[in-house]
Amino acid sequence: MYKVFVNDIPIILTTEKDIGKKYKSIPIKSVKLKKLIKKIYDGEQLYINLYHRNEEKLLAHLKKKMKLVVAGGGLVYNDNKEILFIHRNGRWDLPKGKIEKGEDIEECALREVQEETGVEGLKITKPLEITYHVFKRNGKFRLKETFWYEMHTSSTNELLPQKKEGIKKAKWLNFQKSQKALNKSYENIKLLFPKVYLTKHPNDRVA
């Protein structure tokens, strides 16, 4: 199963035709994806399941229907077990960015974290989730595939948010503050954290 987020609403990709009464199920081969995404943006569709009997073909079919942007990012810890967050567009996020020509994905992730936050001495400790979300650029929908890595640094240098990328803050947050930040973050980011951080489907929240 995969989750592809559109404005924090997950499109579910599975091998199952029926995953619950709330969900509208559509064969991924025949879905008119751009029209469906527009309906999600407009709030007309909220629970979507795209299915195919072969799990390996789910993402292949999705990538045929939208232009793919590959990115790398990091969930970074320091010696105090604090987590490195950035603040942009009114939300807390984790540093990430698009791969450049000639890079491998780990190089991309390390470079982007350093550029967006100014942090030094980064080392990758293990790979994490690959997340998927849809964004709009120049009036067209794009699919972003982000490879995430857990990272560590012992550096205590001053953080420098990358202003030209619209980043207002770069901060180390402890466990409690991280939980609060995730309440003002993105659903796909929460997939990288332990279960204690995870939330329900955004449409199931009680106001």
Output the DSSP codes for 45-112. ---EEEE-S-THHHHHHHHHHSEEEEEEEEEEE-TT--EEEEEETTEEE--EEE--TT--HHHHHHHH
Domain boundary among the residues 39, 65, 91 is at 65
73 and 61 in a single domain? The answer is: no
* 90 half-sphere exposure, CB direction, 13 A CA radius: 0
49 and 111 in a single domain? The answer is: no
Write out the chain's pLDDT in tens, 207 residues: 999 999 899 999 999 999 999 999 999 999 999 899 999 988 898 999 999 999 989 999 999 999 999 999 999 999 999 999 999 999 999 999 999 999 999 999 999 999 999 999 999 999 999 999 999 888 889 999 999 999 999 999 999 999 999 999 999 999 889 989 999 999 999 999 876 554 444 444 433
105 and 142 in a single domain? The answer is: yes
- Looking at residue 201, its pLDDT comes to 45
Instruction: Note down the domain range covering 151.
Output: 68-204
Q: How far apart are CA 91 and CA 166, in angstroms?
A: 11
37 and 127 in a single domain? The answer is: no
55 and 123 in a single domain? The answer is: no
Q: How far apart are CA 178 and CA 62, in angstroms?
A: 32
99 dihedral zone (left: phi>0; alpha: psi -120 to 50; beta)? beta
Residue located via tokens 């012992």: 154
114 and 179 in a single domain? The answer is: yes
103 and 170 in a single domain? The answer is: yes
- Looking at residue 195, its pLDDT comes to 66
- Looking at residue 137, its pLDDT comes to 84
- Looking at residue 194, its pLDDT comes to 73
How many structural domains comprise the chain?
A: 2
- Looking at residue 196, its pLDDT comes to 56
Q: What is the dihedral of CA 168, 169, 175, 179, to 10 degrees?
A: -10
76 and 95 in a single domain? The answer is: yes
SS3 173: strand
32 and 129 in a single domain? The answer is: no
55 and 89 in a single domain? The answer is: no
pTM for the whole structure:
0.89
- Residue 141 sits in a domain whose CATH number is 3.90.79.10
113 and 196 in a single domain? The answer is: yes
